[in-house]
Chain A
Amino acid sequence: MSTKAQRERIELLQGTLDLLILRTLLLGPAHGHAIAKAIEFRSEEVLQVEQGSLYPALHRLIKRRWISVEEGVSENNRRAKFYRLTAAGRRQLAVETGKWDKLAGAIARILRPAERESQS
């Protein structure tokens, strides 16, 4: 049973992670480590992303041509790969964001009455 539960959580995270990466890159190109830090920082450290899982996600987005990759030099003069949002990625981000809002709203509507019940 446990593997099944784990797997579902990872899958949920994967989809969400894609969304978070796209949103992060909306602010401008960044390298892998910076993206991880940004997600952690902006979520006020609530989302503890396993940093490694960023890489399959990045490659998946590259494959779908939602982001592109270029060589560059980072703030402390180190060679790094910079990921940049493409036009298609921008459109996808809009779509995904809309979907996410709907999902979050729906879940919230389901959860709220339950909370009230448990309070009474």
Chain B
Amino acid sequence: MKRRRRMLEDLDQDIREHLARETEDNIGRGMGPEEARSMALRKFGNVTRVKEDTREVWAFVWTEQLWQDIVYAFRMLRKSPAFTSVVVLTLALGIGANTAIFSVVQGVLLAPLPYFQSDRLVVLFESNPRFPRVWISYPNFQDWQRSARSFEQMAVFMGWKGFDLTDPGEPEHLDGKEISAGFFTTLGVNLARGREFTAQEDGAAGPPAVIISDRLWRNRFGGSPEAVGKSVTLNGVDYTIVGVAPPDFRLLGDADVYTPLGQGDPMIINHRATHAMWCIARLKPGASILQARAEMSTIQKGLDEQYPDANRDLGTDVTPLKEQIVGEVSGTLLLLLGAVGLVLLIACANVANLLLARSAARSREFAIRSALGANRSRVLRQLLTESVLLALAGGGLGLAVAAWGLNPVLAAVPGAVPRSQEIGLNVPVLLFAFGVAVGVGILFGMAPALKNSRAGLQDALKEGGRTSASGRGRVQSSLVIAQMALTLVLLVGAGLLLRTIRSLGQVDPGFDPRHLITFRVGVSHSLTKTVSGTRVAYQQLIERIRKVPGVQAADFTDVVPLSSDSDIMPFWIGSEKPASLQAAPRLQGLLTGPDYLRTMGIPLLRGRFFTDQDTTHSPCVWVIDSDLARMYFPNSDPLGQTLSVGFASMGPCIIVGVVGHVRHWGLDEPSTYPLGQAYLPIAQDPDQWVQSNYSGFSVMVRTPLEPTAVMPAIKNAVYGAGSDQPVYHLETMQQVVSDSMSSQRLPMVLLGAFAGLALLLASLGIYGVISYSVAQRVREIGIRMVLGAEKRDVFRMVIGQGLRLAVAGLAIGAVGALILTRLLPSFSSLLYGVRANDPLTFVAVSIILTGVAILACYIPARRATRVDPMVPLRCE
């Protein structure tokens, strides 16, 4: 480097010396001083170029020139603000949309889960012949924990247990989890304060202990370090705080309180046949997931033999935790990333076309620069610098677009994406935006740059430079055709999803979601200390709600349709219990009150629904749905037959009625295993289950009034029965139905937005190219008119030119869309009620695209008709 500086320092002097010598020599030959000097200069050649070339010999020159290029590019771009702003805006939209989607992909799919060495965390499931993954039973977990060697540690938890906090402060309903000792250490999460549960606390006789969330700690204890050791009253019991979770800690849903699972409902914990828990485990270093699977299946085989009643035919499943959390959305997100990539390509094509048109105007500038001594690669670099600079400006603005556009989109479709809290414009996202901008700048800058630097010097210096116009036109036309094709693909995707949402909207969910609201009530724990007290308290509560003016009907259910509630159990008809319950068919059980059917608007098809006369003192009864009747009583009358359910068998009870099927798993019911439904009256719920079952009830209310109008009165009625009874999880059923479509609505909204953007960009693209071509052909159009062409013919000719491009793009795009929709299962699996090659969609979007293309060509076509035939002729 030193050598380089030394060598270049006196280059100027060397050249001066050289010229002086040559001049002297010339004077010696008898020339005058003036002439001698100019001859010397002529013989020497272009001094600037010599200096440049010499500098270039020494490698560092590149960075110097880059800086010059950047300064020059800035000046050039400032000189044409219209061009610059159109390009920057186009790129900002393209890069911004890509950055937004990438930030979702990054936060959800790419970033590791926020736990220590999270790639070694797995979820352990049980599996049975009907379902590949089911929750596990606590006794089985305890056996696993004793014998499995592939894992450093494992823990279980039950999510979504409700806790009503009554002290300190205002009564509030809190979501909680029951966790086993070692839950946090398995995840590798350190508590912010205090400690985890001890083995003693995690047992049936343990003292009530609780770990609270950071949020609760701040709200109820002002973030005081002395909170640990204090007590909180939850569900009427005083718990001692032993720990505080770190801020933002969550696993499969938020929770404010964590209680020891070992102290939970003995009906759940002591039953090997009750599958109700999640099990998480940390693989030992070096243990593979395959080894873990093999070991677990051996262990489970032993347990199945040991406990055939509960376990026969039970298997296990080991799934990476990340796959469990994000697996479902990964296909959709990658699909959207691909789609938004197409938008960027379309934007790039536009910018490339603008640059081509501009470079035509600048060809003289470049010719002059080469004549002054710039070599080819220097001009190329200059052009690339400009386009990368444009792309970086677009990328910077694109970040703003992404930051501004991301949150409203995610907020518009709640629950569609897990880990949404972890999405943000972080370092990897910024790097992505930067990388895309540079890449895109080089991509769209390359074509016009290559074309230009090759342009003939003499040709360009001559006025016009018409020779290269036809070649450039061909490139521009292909770019427009590509844009049209890509836009059609996006339009087809959006169109198919729109049709899907529409057909889902027309699906009859099996109940009437209009004028129907649902909420939960935390019934006062002073009223639910005994089984009979609990029954009375709930009965009184629902009667108070029914008396509220405006309430047409109201009743309880333990499973709200289309929500995540579910209670799946094996069943059998008649009195003979099958040998293997794990292999027995399943149904979905629901506990409801007698007014549930009327409240929901579910049709009664045969027999009767429950009445107040169905109690623990009368024979137990079932009402089944039409699916169950069709599948298991194809040739007989279900009424009067008996049905039993569950591992801790309940029944046999008599089937007294058949009602319509309710779509519980989604309007498109994607379940691979069709589940019939069976209703049991809450009044006949066996005593031992009452307290845990009743606390999970939701209230359904049918009312023609708006929820906001009727809820204050309902709340008053609830508080009248006990002021410490929070009302929570309030939703209209229309909201619940709409939320159930979120897995299709998110891609529909985004694909729709992308397709709209693509349409806008493509129409600008075709407009630009046709306008440019009209401007180029002014002379030709003039001659045609002189030779007798009507304005109508000229108009038709220009529109025809645009139409040809559009139709070529349509054809290519249609083929592409047909192939893509078939190749992408992550897309076709979203569709409902419409086939991937739906002709209506294809025709409709083709018409839209053609219409927009014609519209875009209309202005340049009109301009062409106004060409004065004499002007271009006079020019020559």
Give chain A's interface residues, CB within 8 Å of chain B. 1-3, 7, 31-33, 36-37, 50-53, 55-56, 59-60, 62-63, 69, 78, 80-81
Contacts and interface: CB of A to CB of B under 8 A. Distances in A.
B394 to A, nearest CB: 32
B791 interface: no
Contacts of B22: 33, 51
Contacts of A53: 45, 50, 53
A53 to B, nearest CB: 6
A51 B458 contact: no
Q: Which of B14, B18, B370, B458 has the most CB of A within 10 A?
A: B18
Main secondary structure of the interface of B (DSSP, over half): helix
Contacts of B457: 2-3
Contact of A33 (B7, B21, B47, B458): B21
A69 B8 CA distance: 13
B7 A59 contact: yes
B58 A63 contact: yes
A80 B33 CA distance: 23
B46 interface: yes
Interface in B1-51: 7, 10-11, 14-15, 17-18, 21-22, 25, 43-47, 49-50
A56 B54 contact: yes
A59 B6 CA distance: 12
B195 interface: no
A55 B11 contact: yes
Given A52-B46, A56-B50, 11 more contacts: A2-B456, A3-B376, A7-B376, A32-B17, A33-B18, A51-B43, A52-B45, A52-B50, A63-B57, A69-B7, A80-B17
B57 A52 contact: no
Contacts of B43: 50-51
Given A3-B370, A33-B21, A52 B44 contact: yes
B56 interface: yes
Contact of A78 (B17, B54, B456): B17
Nearest to A80: B17
A120 B58 CA distance: 52
A32 B57 contact: no
B324 to A, nearest CB: 61
Contacts of A69: 7
A48 to B, nearest CB: 8
Contacts of B7: 59, 62, 69
A7 B457 CA distance: 12
B456 A59 contact: no
A32 B10 CA distance: 13
B758 to A, nearest CB: 39
B18 A56 contact: no
Given A3-B370, A50-B45, A59 B54 contact: yes
Q: Which of A1, A36, A37, A51 has the most C-beta atoms of chain B within 10 angstroms of its own C-beta? A: A51
A32 B14 contact: yes
B564 to A, nearest CB: 70
Interface of B: 7, 10-11, 14-15, 17-18, 21-22, 25, 43-47, 49-50, 53-54, 56-58, 370, 375-376, 456-458
Contacts of A50: 43-45
A2 B376 CA distance: 13
A33 B655 CA distance: 115
B845 to A, nearest CB: 46
A59 B57 contact: yes
A55 B54 CA distance: 6
A41 to B, nearest CB: 12
5 contacts: A37-B25, A51-B22, A56-B50, A56-B57, A60-B57
A52 B49 contact: yes
A18 to B, nearest CB: 12
A111 to B, nearest CB: 29
Contacts of B15: 52, 55
A56 B44 contact: no
A69 B14 CA distance: 12
Of all A-B residue pairs in the complex, the 9 with the closest CB atoms, nearest first, are: A52-B45, A52-B50, A50-B45, A56-B53, A33-B21, A59-B57, A52-B44, A56-B54, A51-B44
Contacts of A36: 18
Contacts of A80: 17
A45 B54 CA distance: 25
A7 B379 CA distance: 15
B29 to A, nearest CB: 13
A53 B21 CA distance: 17
A63 B8 CA distance: 12
B456 A32 contact: no
Nearest to A35: B18
B449 to A, nearest CB: 16
A19 to B, nearest CB: 17
Most buried by B among A31, A52, A53, A56: A52
A52 to B, nearest CB: 4
B704 to A, nearest CB: 83
Contacts of B47: 52
Given A2-B458, A56-B56, A56-B57, A51 B18 contact: yes
A69 B10 CA distance: 12
Contacts of B50: 52-53, 55-56
B853 to A, nearest CB: 38
A1 B460 CA distance: 12
A80 B49 CA distance: 22
A2 B57 CA distance: 25
A55 B17 CA distance: 13
A59 B46 contact: no
Contacts of A32: 14, 17-18
B50 to A, nearest CB: 4
Contacts of A52: 15, 44-47, 49-50
Contacts of A55: 11, 14-15, 50, 53-54
B53 A3 contact: no
A62 B54 CA distance: 11
Nearest to B371: A3
Contacts of A37: 25
A84 B783 CA distance: 69
A60 B53 CA distance: 10
Contacts of B11: 55
Given A3-B457, A33-B17, A51-B22, A81 B58 contact: no
Contacts of A33: 17-18, 21-22
Nearest to B15: A55
B219 to A, nearest CB: 71
A53 B458 CA distance: 24
A42 to B, nearest CB: 16
